[in-house]
Amino acid sequence: MSLATSIVIALIMALLLTENLGYGHIQISRPVFAGPIIGLLMGDLRTGLIVGGTVELMFMGVFPVGGSVPPNAQFAGMMSTVLAIASGGNAEVGVTLAFPIGVFAQFILLLDYNINLFIAHRADKKIMDGNVDAVKTHQMLCLICMFGCWALSSFLGIYLGSAWVERLYNILPEFIRTGLSVAGGIMPAMGMAMLLKMMNLKRYWCFLAIGYVMTAYLEMNVISIAIFSIGVAVAIYTLGKEEESQEIGGEIKEDSSQRILTKQDLKSIYRRSYFTGACLNYERYLGLGYCYAILPALKKLYKGEDLKEATIRNTEFYNSHPFMHNVIMGVTIALEEQRALGAPIEAQSISATKAALMGPTAGFGDSFFKGVVVTITGAFAAALAIEGNPIAPLVFIIPNLIVCILVRYYGTMMGYKFGTKFILKMKNSNIIQKFVEGSTIVGMMVTAGLITNYVKVNLSPVFKFAEKEIVLNDVINSVIPKLLPYCTVFLFYYIIKKYPKNGLYITLALSFAMGIFGVLLNIL
């Protein structure tokens, strides 16, 4: 690949990759969306769709929770697409390399986090000297460094890796090439196993069983199963609605205290909140980014030493799910406002409130937005992408953008308007739990559809008996359809549960071994 082409694609990859933490977490870097974009740029949209959709399934359920850094699906999806197209449009090449690439991306992120720590300390010194605007300049510096790390690693992977992969693929023995293709069909079982672990298979297994019957026996597609499962979840909710309404009761009253901040100030917080994650580091996580988002409001509320003290206070340790930042910002800026107006609110109380909100909001955000919204929309889109349908990226990105924008905007407004009463009301009413349960029902049934359709484990032996050919795989499927894909997923699920630290790597190695040795021994 030429130098100029490598540079252009690397810059676009870096721009897409930076969004995951740097400017919004709006999901445009997910494999099912970014893979087709890279494929389109390289003149092979179909390969981009197939690789992006398959890698999305492989990494389904693999999300960074808290401060963890799992193999990176975003970089894996894009780089795998590049390498697949560079090898002559061989999708299996990109798919089989995806997980190792995702592991490599962990080190890129760790490098960026350490650079961010140095930048955060440099910002601290400037703030102590009274320069509160250093928050903005250093937050933007973190964003630039993140873009730079991704751009450099993308360029090296494209310029040096694409030619190397093409040469390597051409000299591989035929059984290894075929084995890699078979392994690529097995690898989605890793993502499915992670999903089952995340969605509590032990409790919700019955809905997986229903989904299995609908796909394996009735041959319903993923979309029809999703519609049916939504109906089931709504029916269960409706049957318990009367009891739930008695639990909720009451009304959340707006805080009628005196105000300084306007709606425009809150909109500013909302817009700036998209950049909160750019400064992520392992000392104070998102503290600098949190302060960056609310800094204009703090400058309106305080002056002089009070502003300096408030700025330092809001660069303390902070972490939550990206979509939940805004609720916490709304609540805490309302407290800052009342403190500025002379209310008896201690600085420590504001910090304690922020700390107390981090846990429940992060827990809900990680389980619902990552585990349900991204997973279900990703499943629909991946199913379409693997079939080469060009609307797949839109099916994924449109609902995710709508959720992102609405939750963040109204989170800011309602957090400010109702304060901590809003959080407590939602927590006590159990609405969130019911919503997650309903989404899990949908997720379980859709996962069954994904296993049936996209985990490929087929036996190859053919026997002759009384001049008739007996295909072993057909015999098994005639008794229990799709038994082998489900057995593979359950095996991977057991491994991931038993070895939580290394389970993904064990299942990856097992996928390669099953594919290559299965072909070599004429089993798969």
Listing DSSP states for 58-124 in one string gives HTTT----TT-----HHHHHHHHHHHHHHTTS-HHHHHHHHHHHHHHHHHHHHHHHHHHHHHHHHHH
pLDDT in tens, 2-36: 889 999 999 999 999 999 889 988 999 999 999 99
Name 318's bridge partners.
Answer: 285
- Give me the mean pLDDT over the 336-348 stretch: 89
The confidence score (pLDDT) of residue 308 equals 95
Exposure letters 381-414 (e unless 16+ CB within 10 A, then b): bbbbbbeeeeebbebbbebbeebbeebbbebbbb
User: Could you tell me the pTM of the whole model?
Assistant: 0.84
The confidence score (pLDDT) of residue 248 equals 42
Here the contacts of 307-310 (C-beta below 8 Å, separation 24 or greater) are 307/132, 308/127, 308/128, 308/130, 308/132, 309/347, 310/336, 310/347
* Structure tokens that stand for 257 in this block: 């205290």
3-state helix, strand, coil in the chain (%, to 5): 75, 0, 20
| Helix (H/G/I), strand (E/B), else coil: 173 | coil
DSSP code of 255? P
- Give me the mean pLDDT over the 174-189 stretch: 88
The confidence score (pLDDT) of residue 135 equals 96
pLDDT in tens, 193-204: 988 888 888 889
| Block residue for tokens 């059984």 | 175
The pLDDT confidence band at residue 452, using thresholds 50, 70 and 90, is very high
Q: 330-334, 393-397, 461-465: which range is least confident on average?
A: 461-465
The confidence score (pLDDT) of residue 424 equals 58
The pLDDT confidence band at residue 172, using thresholds 50, 70 and 90, is confident
Going from the C-alpha of 95 to that of each of 45, 152, 186, 368, 429, the distances in angstroms are: 15, 22, 10, 27, 44
pLDDT at 394 over 90: yes
- SS3 of 339-364: HHCCCCCCHHHHHHHHHHHHHHHHHH
Q: What's the chain's average pLDDT?
A: 87
Going from the C-alpha of 262 to that of each of 265, 269, 296, 324, 335, the distances in angstroms are: 5, 11, 12, 21, 15
* CB of 143 closer than 8 Å to CB of 278: yes
**Domain locations in the chain as residue ranges:** 3-185, 263-372+397-430
Q: 113-122, 158-167, 370-379, 451-460: which range is least confident on average?
A: 158-167
List the one residue out of 289, 345, 298 whose CA is nearest residue 322.
Answer: 289
| Helix (H/G/I), strand (E/B), else coil: 462 | strand
Rounded CA gap, 253 and 145, in Å?
44
Q: 57-71, 118-132, 294-308, 465-479: which range is least confident on average?
A: 57-71
> H or E element: which one contains 245?
helix 241-248
The pLDDT confidence band at residue 246, using thresholds 50, 70 and 90, is very low
* CB of 325 closer than 8 Å to CB of 276: yes
Rounded CA gap, 162 and 273, in Å?
37
Radius of gyration for the chain, computed over Cα atoms and rounded to the nearest angstrom: 25
